[in-house]
Structure 1
Amino acid sequence: MPALEDAIEEIKNFSEKAGLLDKRILVMFSGGKDSSLALYLLKEAGLDVSALTFFHRWSWRETLRWAMGFTKKLNLNHFLVDITDGLLREAAGRKGPICINCKKVMLWNAKWFALNNGFDVLAKGDNANDKIIGALLDQCKTDVRLCEVPKIGIPTLRPLIKYTAEQVEALADEAGIRPYRMYEHARRRQWREGCPLQYIDREEIVTPELMDLAYKVNYEISKIARERKVRVSVRVPGFEVMCWNCDNETIDEIRRVTEKLR
């Protein structure tokens, strides 16, 4: 496992070779462990870095507050952008999963926010487990940590792309980075939380009412999950319960709550 000090030194060396020391870098910062570590490493490496967080009407307010506190401790500029209207335009009336539409809105907004506010580089918290052959950023002809793909329109830095999810976890723990958890089930075993809209049933036509329901149900369920230290989410409108390590008592409580919310 790489040590935190070594990871910081590696970013310093790479940044010097890549000409990043005099560049303004904007990090797409969700408040999760990956983007938090990316922001931390770039700051500790002495780079000119700021954070950009997107939120919408259905975002978890708890994680947003944690993210704001994190950047305050690092003494960094932190920009917050509400993408509710753009998300509704892209997602409403279409079938899920909604995450595809949301990522499109965020990347488009991040690009133009960066370009319009004098940033030279856009950074993301992708790790080696996120690297998919054939994806846009993996068409880089040079070092995959810094891509200049014309279609994106701004150089994209991925400081964690050579670290596995396990290594990112260890580095974040060493740095004392402990993001606020909603105890979502998520789509993988790793702590990969997002927002409640990912739990809209795949073949459903997305509507604002269904988005409201996904938030309301999963917010109430998160209280049970946090108390019992299990990971739970509920798909809507089918109300399928997804849980890691739930016992029968927890399942019964979840079902009582969801019955009231139907």
Structure 2
Amino acid sequence: MIERVIRDVREFSRKNGLYEKRILVLFSGGKDSSLALYLLKEAGLDVSALTFFHRWSWRETLNWAMGFTKKLGIEHYLVDVTDGLLREATGRKGPICINCKKVMLWNAKWFALNNGFEVLAKGDNANDKIIGALLDQCKGDIRLCDIPRIGVPFFRPLIRYTAEEVERLAEEAGIRPYRMYEHARRRQWREGCPLQYIDREEVVTEELMDLAYRVNYEVSKIARARKVRVSVRVPSFEVMCWDCNEETLGEVRRVVSRFGGKEGETSARKAEE
């Protein structure tokens, strides 16, 4: 299957003149963006990677991402967006991801324009929420969107493949990103950063961002050891888990209590919910 997809990328790229352009992939180090980067490299395109990080990013996943691009022989740019994220997010209500994506999108645009890149690429797949999104306000084939508001076209080589198909393709390509064993917001592996676990409608502060990182970093150690998925919302200290037994929940709650949560009052949301 992977060879067929690479052939499709080559054919699409030839038809749309992408072999004459420099392409910059927005690379988080997750499975989707890793696969997109791999496919473009294997298709012979002129591709580089751009990774945004901030003070609360998982360092383990960043290290994995750097090793992945080194193995592929791809130029990899790292940009710290901590200051911009603080300006956009603090004082506003969650979810913080909306503000973070805004910071990253505009930083990506200007980074591309200032460094000679003519196309931006993303790892969006067919399961991602796309109705009404900026990247779907485009004419023709949604794999390549020329958006006037951005000024740089976006290439999405995976947008016609489901999350399940992306899983199979990544496995075939031998792509196995580092996992923090987060609960995430979907049944598929959709990890991101700990700031997504700030309670909805909570006014975001720098202290709350620090708390979200610290408590979720500690519970991720338990999750990795037990091969379950756990995250904790703050400041409510709601424990969210996939496949946790009572022993695991007890261990997580003891960690939570060290950060101010009351061990007996934390709730646990099971996978079936």
Question: Is the structural similarity TM-score above 0.5?
Answer: yes
Cα pair 1:200 1:235 within 8 Å, conserved: yes
1:208 and 2:209 aligned: no
Amino acid at match of 1:38: A
Counterpart of 2:98 in structure 1 is 100
SS at structure 2 position matched to 1:21:
helix
Question: Displacement, 1:152?
Answer: 1.4
Amino acid at match of 2:55: R
Amino acid at match of 1:99: C
Counterpart of 1:114 in structure 2 is 112
Counterpart of 2:255 in structure 1 is 257
Counterpart of 1:7 in structure 2 is 5
**How far apart are the structure 1 equivalents of 2:182 and 2:129?**
23
Counterpart of 2:88 in structure 1 is 90
Equivalent of 2:184 in 167, 186, 190: 186
Q: TM-score, normalised by structure 1?
A: 0.98
Unaligned runs of 5+ in 1: none
Counterpart of 1:50 in structure 2 is 48
In the TM superposition, 1:59-208 aligns within 5 A as 59-208=57-206
Unaligned runs of 5+ in 2: 261-273
Could you tell which deviates more after superposition, 11-20 or 136-145? 136-145
Question: Displacement, 1:80?
Answer: 0.1
In the TM superposition, 1:220-239 aligns within 5 A as 220-239=218-237
Amino acid at match of 1:35: S
Question: Displacement, 1:25?
Answer: 0.1
**How far apart are the structure 2 equivalents of 1:219 and 1:135?**
31
Amino acid at match of 2:63: R
Counterpart of 1:33 in structure 2 is 31
Which digits, 9 at most, give the CA deviation of each residue in 1:80-138, with x for residues without a partner? 00000000000000011000000000000000000000001000000011152221111
**How far apart are the structure 2 equivalents of 1:220 and 1:136?**
36
SS at structure 2 position matched to 1:53:
strand
Cα pair 1:131 1:138 within 8 Å, conserved: no
Amino acid at match of 2:178: Y
- State the identity as a percent: 80
**How far apart are the structure 2 equivalents of 1:136 and 1:215?**
29
Structure 1 runs, 4 residues or longer, greater than 6 Å off: none
Number of aligned residue pairs: give it: 260
Which digits, 9 at most, give the CA deviation of each residue in 1:153-205, with x for residues without a partner? 10110010010100000000000000000000000000000000000011211
Which digits, 9 at most, give the CA deviation of each residue in 1:36-55, with x for residues without a partner? 00000000000000000000
SS at structure 2 position matched to 1:59:
coil
